[in-house]
Amino acid sequence: MSRFDQKAKEWDGSERRRELALSIAETIIKNVPLSKEMHLLDFGAGTGLMTKYLTPLVKNITALDFSSEMLKKLEENAKTWGGAKVSMVHSDILKYESETQFDGIVSSMSMHHIEDLEVLFQKFSTLLRADGFIAIADLDKEDGSFHDDGNEGVHHYGFEQALLTKLAEENGFRDVTFIEAYTFEKENNRNYPVFLMRAYI
């Protein structure tokens, strides 16, 4: 069982996680023109904490995660989202193949768990239609102290925005913009800012 399978049952119990997911969803809604014709991919959707705020604004969301337990919880949660159109995909994002060309890819706090960012950005570019967007939220560069329960499965201690811009542009993205989405204030008296990276292909 993976780290996330083990955490799935108690994942939604954290007030701070729920607050973060809401803040990221609000930042996406404010900065990306969503429409009822759109089919989005939420990668690393987890239990759907962020997904649920976007479902009323688009046609369909494919929620992808490699943790079957997180997806089980998402399926249970989605029953309370008023008939929202959500389909679940159990897959590693790097291995995911789809016939659908998505209008946009959204994500909340999952990119730092992906080791090979070059392959990730290539994958984003193949999954999107022309003029599609990415709206990816994650941590600014940190020193490894963000995760209270250790860094197993954490491949990046946050990100330098310049590195992400380079990876995006090398893979065909344009108009790369970073927007402040949230700041974690932790008991260790440190602040961990979270960005929303938006770009178009």
Q: Taking CB under 6 A as the rule, does residue 50 contact ligand SAM? A: yes
* Binding region for ligand SAM (CB under 6 A) out of 32-40, 108-116, 123-131, 183-191: 108-116
Residue 6 token pair = 């083990």
* Binding region for ligand SAM (CB under 6 A) out of 30-38, 58-66, 161-169, 176-184: 58-66
Nearest one of 175, 178, 136 to 161, comparing CA atoms:
178
Q: Taking CB under 6 A as the rule, does residue 4 contact ligand SAM? A: yes
Q: Taking CB under 6 A as the rule, does residue 158 contact ligand SAM? A: no
Q: Taking CB under 6 A as the rule, does residue 72 contact ligand SAM? A: no
Decide: helix, strand or coil at residue 8: helix
Give the residue with the Cβ less far from ligand SAM, 37 or 97.
97
Q: Taking the complex as a whole, how short is the minimal distance between the CB of residue 30 and ligand SAM, in angstroms? A: 18
Query: Exactly one of 25, 61, 109, 127 binds ligand SAM (CB under 6 A); which one?
Result: 109
Q: What is the phi-psi region of residue 82: left when phi exceeds 0, alpha when psi lies from -120 to 50, beta otherwise?
A: left
- Alpha-helix runs per DSSP H in 36-194: 51-54, 68-78, 117-127, 161-170
Q: Taking CB under 6 A as the rule, does residue 103 contact ligand SAM? A: no
Element (H, E) at 182: strand 174-185
Q: Taking CB under 6 A as the rule, does residue 41 contact ligand SAM? A: no
What burial class does residue 105 get, using C-beta atoms within 10 Å of its C-beta: 0-12 exposed, 13-18 middle, 19+ buried?
buried
Residue 186: CB atoms within 10 Å:
12
Q: Which residues bind ligand SAM (CB under 6 A)?
A: 4, 17, 21, 44-46, 49-50, 64-67, 70, 92-94, 108-110, 113-114
